[in-house]
Structure 1
Amino acid sequence: MIRLHRRPVAVLAVAAALAVAMAGCTPTPPPAPSAAAPEVSSSASAPSPGADGSASSPSAPALSPTGSATENLPLFTQVVAEVWGGAEQVSGRAYIDALDAAGFDKTAMQVTPDQTVIGNPAESIEFSVRWGEECLVGQVGPSIGDPVTAVLPGLSTGDCLIGQTRPIDW
């Protein structure tokens, strides 16, 4: 003879009731990203209306001599994007000159050659500005696609780039 126990039936009934009750629940959405999260690159945003209803442009990035490399990355990125949008996209000198004109210290810069050792155009060029213990680094070229900018740790040698760089003697 088979005996039925009331306890397992009661457990199943409670489990079924919980399943029905929870079927209407929806998961809680994840929290919004923190406004304090640093951005790796900067992009232009759409103008917002001013108090008088006219369009006002967002504030342009500016050099902060006492700021960190991360705080100066938006200006570095903007300068790189402007040169990339011009006729001298793969000219290291154009990036160095534009960064210098924006106020970055030319004596703290490095740039790789525009040509390979056999005289062909470089597939990419890199350039940097040493900023304290860190480096603002950019990379552009046909093999890269859109320009890349980042803040990276400085090398123990005091440089930012590994490998052969060219003198900035202009």
Structure 2
Amino acid sequence: MRVRPTHRTGGAIALTLAAAVVLSGCVASTPETAVTPTTEAASTPSPEATPTGPILRPGEAAAANRQFFDLINTKYHDANGQGAGRSIVDNLVANGFSKQDMEVTPDSTAIGLAADSIVVSVRIKGECLLGQFTPDNYVSSIEPLLGTGGCLVGKTRTIDW
């Protein structure tokens, strides 16, 4: 037995088709293309590259410069061990620290033996960055400026080179 669509069923189908046609007008007929970077845009460097890692911060406090001070001195120690006072100072100067603000202890004792350690200091804004080099280790600290205006107690080498 075959069922013939009634007039109501035909009207429902027509209404469904009309709604589909109307709703299809709400959908974009062409898909949007995704924007892909061109080779030129991908290879263009940013206007200012941001440094990675610690940097020297002239005019800022000792605490703001300690990471950079330690980075420079640790690399020096890794390459040279305890090293020598002059080369420690020269290395710091080469990396932007002011020689006029530095003090360094002698490389040898009063009787000519190698010093157990070499201490270098940099005065920054009323504070002292201190770095101590031993054959096996490098350590640092930040200490207040002494009443003498210096950072180290006792005999220090003249830095006139």
User: Shorter-chain TM-score: which interval?
Assistant: 0.5 to 0.7
Give the distance between the partners of 1:71 and 1:112, measured in 2 at CA: 24
Tell me the residue number matched to 1:139: 132
* Percentage of identical aligned residues: 44
Match of 1:89 in 2: 82
Aligned twin of 1:61: 54
Matched position secondary structure for 1:70 = helix
Over the aligned positions, Cα root-mean-square deviation in angstroms equals: 1.4
- Deviation digits for residues 60-84 of structure 1 (CA, Å, limit 9, x no counterpart): 2111112110000001001110110
Aligned match of 1:126: 119
Give unpaired runs (5+ residues) of structure 2. 1-50
Q: Which amino acid aligns with 1:62?
A: I
> Which letter maps to 2:151?
C
Match of 2:155 in 1: 164
Letter in 2 for 1:163: G
Matched, 1:106 2:99: yes
Give runs of ≥4 in structure 1 deviating > 3 Å.
Answer: none
Greater Cα radius of gyration, structure 1 or 2: 2
Secondary structure of 2:65's aligned partner:
helix
Amino acid at match of 2:82: Q
Amino acid at match of 1:102: N
Given the alignment, which residue of 140, 151, 162 partners 2:142? 151
Q: What's the secondary structure of 1:75's corresponding residue?
A: helix
TM-score under structure 2 length normalisation:
0.65
Q: Which amino acid aligns with 1:157?
A: T
Aligned to 1:163, what secondary structure does the other structure show? coil
The TM-score with structure 1 as length reference comes to: 0.62
Equivalent residues, number: 111
Q: CA deviation at 1:88?
A: 5.8
CA contact (8 A) 1:90 1:124 kept: no
Among candidates 46, 67, 71, match of residue 64 of structure 2: 71
- Say whether the 8 Å CA contact 1:140–1:147 is kept in structure 2: yes
Q: Distance in 1 between matches of 2:134 and 2:140?
A: 13
My pick for the range that moved more, 75-84 or 58-67, is 58-67
Distance 2:112 2:76 in 1: 23
Is the 8 Å Cα contact of residues 81 and 133 (structure 2) preserved in structure 1? Answer: no
Match for 2:110: what amino acid?
Answer: V
Equivalent residue for 1:117, pick from 99, 110, 116: 110
Q: Deviations over 1:115-157 (max 9, x none)?
A: 1111111101111000121000011113xx4211111101011
